[in-house]
Amino acid sequence: MKVRQRLGSPWWSLRASQLYISNSAAPTALRSPDRPPVPTVPWTTHTATFQPVHYESSRLNQAPAPLRRPLQACADRLWSLNNRIKRTGRRALLAFLPENYPHSVTPEYWGYSKWQFIHSVTGSITGVVSTQSMLFAVGLGSGSIPLAAALNWVIKDGLGQLGGVIYAFKISNRFDSDPKHYKFWSGITLQLATLLEMCTPLFPQWFLVISSVSNIGKNISWLATSAARAQMHQSFTINNNLGDVTAKSGSQSTAAGLIGTGFGVVLSAISPHTMLAVFAIYLPFAVISIYANYRANLEVVSRNLNLQRTELVLEHWFKHIVPTFDVTRDRSTKLVGLNKGM
């Protein structure tokens, strides 16, 4: 029976990643009936060189005789389990990536998705903390929420949505010309609004005003983010697959939100219910969220010209193509036969 073994390792220090059983040498009961035997050939990784060896000549032969057969069975199971885990992981990952990835998107898509996922997770954690603070501000900690508090909660949601509508009307098509700018500032606005919500327990008599202003900021942030991401998704497409890229981005955001919410609930449950503890949880995750949003923007390559990029292009063109005033003056004086000082 053939065993793939890492060179130079004693038999008792073999790990699951260092021990594989080839299909051609597996027992008949373990072989796949619809798959031909796979030839065992040497291969190299970034850490070591592997090669097929016979069981009789391997270091497993140093093991006591009663342990050899259990070791073979264990290697069979580990090899099968390793393949199953890899297949399951690939299938799960493909559910969050566009079809035919990475050939259906631009190279910078993975970097953007990675940082955007971190931004969404940390943003959800701070959102859970701020919501907990608001619930204590309206009276959840006392065991009952009065009708006035419930009405204040509904009013602040309505005012926040109205503020988002007005903001979208004022900004209009500027999201298309400079999406990275608006997406970056939307992340900062979201964290500032979250910080404002966390201050509601300190001023419960101003709950409606503070929560309404913070909710307006959140709605503006969500609207700006969704509008800017639409333009960014367009820059990632190759095969006219904007719908697929947008759908998978929504799946990634949903998964990140669930993970962040779970972490936020756990942190809220194990931490003391004091303002100091709440701010201690909020500050590091807020900083990570803003930084991840910044890094995600750096991964985006804009392929259209806005005002700033047009100015940079023209500035470069004028510097290298159009002569300066001193050059034109020298040429003109030489042309008419005048001295340079005249």
Q: How many CA atoms within 13 Å lie on the side-chain side of 29?
A: 3
Regarding predicted confidence, which is higher, 141 or 79? Answer: 79
Average pLDDT over residues 155-178: 78
Indicate the pTM of the whole model. Answer: 0.66
Give exposure, 25-46, as e/b (b: 16+ Cβ within 10 Å). bbeeeeeeeeeeeeebeeeeee
List pLDDT tens digits, range 294-313. Answer: 999 988 887 777 777 777 77
Alpha-carbon distance 286 to 260, whole Å?
12
List pLDDT tens digits, range 183-202. Answer: 999 999 999 999 998 888 88
User: Please, what is the end-to-end C-alpha distance for the chain in angstroms?
Assistant: 97
Regarding predicted confidence, which is higher, 137 or 329? Answer: 137
Q: What is the CATH number of domain 109-304?
A: 1.20.1250.20
Sort 336 into a burial class: Cβ within 10 Å, 0-12 / 13-18 / 19+: exposed
Alpha-carbon distance 142 to 123, whole Å?
28
Regarding predicted confidence, which is higher, 167 or 216? Answer: 216
SS3 20: strand
Please give the pLDDT value at position 46: 47
Domain assignments of the chain as residue spans, ordered by start: 2-94, 109-304
| pLDDT tops 50 at residue 234 | yes
